[in-house]
Amino acid sequence: MKPRVVTLALALAAFALFYALLFPKPLSIIEPASLPLSTDSGEDGMLAAWRWLQAEAIPVLSLRNRYDHLSSTAVGGTGAGNVLITLMPHRLAVRAAEWQPLARWIEQGNTLLVMAAMDDTPRWTLGSESSFVLELQRATHMSFIVKTDQNAKPSETQQLEDSLNALLGPAVIPIIPRGAHALLSEVRNLRAVSDLPASRWRAEPVDGSLALALAQRADNFDPLLWLMRQGEGQVIVFAVASPFANREIALSNNARLLSNIIGWSRAPQGKVLFDDAHQGLVDFYDPKVFFHDPRLHRTLAWSVLLWLAFVLGPLRLASAYSPWQPVDESALIDASGRFFSVAVAPHEAARRLFENFFNELRHRLALPENGEPLWGWLETQAGFSSRERTLLQSMYARVCAGERVDLTRLHNLLCELRGKLA
């Protein structure tokens, strides 16, 4: 296969890997869960409440920014008489810098309606962190603690029945008014629904403020709805999140309660805000809009085309094979010598030079090759002068004593003697 074809295949494979890692893939098999958004038409959505308020000519607004944008002109400015509906737990956590703007907005004469999934557990709460209880406390100035009833000991049959009911279908939570109040006008009963088993909670104010309990559970009379003043405004806390959802708002007197809350707390020019931002529907960053932007697609297309043009362009591709080059023997010998000169001590190298020299002579004379010197035999050789014999004996004595000798001079002397004795 030609090199350019291989390069093209590898380039396309790299681009496919880049696409698989960077771009999110839609899950067409799994149906998206219904979320408590003003745009959601599912069971847990708030679209029914949104359209109902619109039909009544009440200004509604989807808040898709954080709480520090509550005082902006687009939201309502610094005016009073607005209502903010938020459902907890939040999918997008509230930042620490948002609490102070929210508190100031309420104190200016606005209303915060908190629908908290405490005594009910809708499906959209799955996977939420337990820290939302701390967020609820920051928003409402109320402490929520799990209620345990140690005196009540249901029978095994009752426990089995409760478990089966929790698995087979949602549990209905009946709610009744606790007293007379403008918010409870014409409200005789309310209801919430819990898709999954839920705990029972007990609420207490944390800053000494007075919380007026307006409604309670019909089964154990635990309060679920509170009203608290905060500056010129108020906070309404509902310990269930489902009464105003699409599937529940038309049942019992849920719609009447929402109508009373809006009519009692909203000014004539006030707006009803749905806190969609903290449920993931935001304007400051929307990944779906980003990845569907045609400008992004055009930019990526041009980048890929230019990249392929560079990879497959007129540049000469480097060959995968290099011509054979013979090994330089002198360089190999020099490298080996340098290695041994560092790894072997000088006196050991000198001792080995003497042993090799004498073993060559012993091999020629058929003597044992033990490296012992042959001084007597060397004295009988005519080509071997007394000066050379004296110098060789002196250097051998120094090596045996462990002293250092000049290896270059010793090597040259031995080479010269080999030539004379050959």
How does pLDDT run along the chain (422 residues), one tens digit per residue?
577 777 777 778 877 877 777 666 554 444 457 999 999 999 999 999 999 999 999 999 999 999 988 987 666 556 889 999 999 999 888 999 999 999 999 999 999 999 999 999 999 988 776 678 889 998 888 888 887 754 545 555 555 555 555 555 688 999 999 989 999 999 999 999 998 888 888 888 777 678 899 999 998 899 999 999 999 999 999 999 999 999 999 999 999 999 999 999 999 999 999 999 999 888 876 566 677 778 888 888 888 888 777 777 665 656 556 666 676 777 777 777 777 666 778 888 888 888 998 888 888 888 888 888 888 888 888 777 888 888 888 888 888 888 888 888 888 888 888 888 77
Q: What is the pLDDT of residue 156?
A: 58
In sequence order, the β-bridge partners of residue 84 are 112, 273
CA–centroid distance for 269 within its chain: 44
Count of domains for the chain: 2
Judgement on whether residues 111 and 248 belong to the same structural domain of the protein: yes
Please list, in sequence order, all residues whose beta carbon lies within 8 angstroms of the beta carbon of residue 407, skipping any fewer than 6 positions away: 346, 349, 350, 353
Tokens standing for residue 281: 């529907």
Q: Same domain for 222 and 341? A: no
In a domain, 30, yes or no: no
Using the 3D structure, point to which of 285, 305, 340 is the last residue of a domain. 285
Amino acid at 148: T
Q: Residue 33: inside a domain, yes or no?
A: no
> In this structure, are 190 and 265 located in the same domain?
yes
Are 165 and 276 part of one and the same domain? yes
**63: number of Cβ within 10 Å:** 25
In a domain, 5, yes or no: no
Cis peptide before 89 (omega within 30 of 0): yes
In a domain, 296, yes or no: no
* Contacts of the segment 371-378: beta carbons below 8 A, 24+ positions apart: none
Both 280 and 336 in one domain: the answer is no
DSSP β-bridge partners for residue 86: 114
Residue entry with tokens 């540049």: 315
CA 27 – CA 291 distance, rounded (Å):
15
Q: Does residue 339 sit in the same domain as residue 201?
A: no
Q: Evaluate whether residue 21 is within a structural domain.
A: no
Do 167 and 244 lie in one domain? The reply is yes
Question: Which residue range(s) make up the domain with 105?
Answer: 38-148+161-285
Give yes or no: residues 267 and 388 share one domain. no
CATH code for the domain of 116: 3.40.50
Distance CA 169, CA 387 (A): 115
Do 71 and 172 reside in the same domain of the chain?
yes
Residue 203 and residue 211 in contact, taking contact as beta carbons nearer than 8 Å: yes
User: Rounded to whole angstroms, how far apart are CA atoms 329 and 240?
Assistant: 89
Say yes or no: 73 and 168 in one domain: yes
Whether 125 and 239 map to the same domain: the answer is yes
Tokens matching residue 273: 């805000």
| Residue 276 counted as domain residue | yes
pLDDT of residue 131: 77
115 close to 241: Cβ distance less than 8 angstroms: yes
In a domain, 155, yes or no: no
Last residue of a domain, one of 225, 252, 285: 285
Token pair in block for residue 200: 């029972």
Q: Are residues 182 and 257 in the same domain?
A: yes
What is the per-residue pLDDT for 288?
Answer: 63
pLDDT on residue 29: 42
Nearest to 114 by CA among 75, 74, 142, 81: 142
Cα dist. 311→5, 22, 300 in Å?
A: 11, 22, 16
CA 73 to chain centre: 36
**What is the spatial distance between Cα 275 and Cα 241, in angstroms, rounded to a whole number?**
13
DSSP letters for 12-59 = HHHHHHHHHHHS----SSSPPPP-S-TT--STT--HHHHHHHHHTT--
Q: Is 294 a member of any domain?
A: no
Contact 47, 39 (CB under 8 A): yes
Of the residues 254, 285, 316, the one at which a domain ends = 285
